[in-house]
Amino acid sequence: MSAQFLSKLSQNYVELLDDEYYDTTIEVGEDPNVKIFRAHKNILCYRSTYLRRTLASSKKNNDSVLSHIKLSKYIARNLLDDFKVLI
């Protein structure tokens, strides 16, 4: 693959982070200190076995339905290693 292609592909992945077509929200923390992240289910499933299991258990949802995950700060902190590529 050419360097130009890989550069464009990397840029497209970065753009996904700001994409309005997300299908999952992740809520981290407790009220009133809650942070909400928008994400793409496919990327989450391939980057984290924990989130793959979590999303699979709620897969009974229709594909057009938004998935919503609540995570404690502890779990979210441990998942950061799975997503270093996206940060």
* Beta strands per DSSP E along 1-87: 24-28, 35-39, 67-71
Task: Give me the percent of the chain exceeding a pLDDT of 70.
Answer: 75
For 67, phi and psi rounded to 5 degrees?
-85, 145
pLDDT value of residue 8: 92
Q: Looking at the domain that runs over 3-86, which CATH code has it been given?
A: 3.30.710.10
**Tens digits of residue pLDDT in 56-71:** 877 655 555 567 777 7
3-state secondary structure of 20: coil
Give 18 or 4, the one with higher predicted confidence: 4
Q: What is the distance between the alpha carbons of residues 23 and 41, in angstroms, rounded to a whole number? A: 6
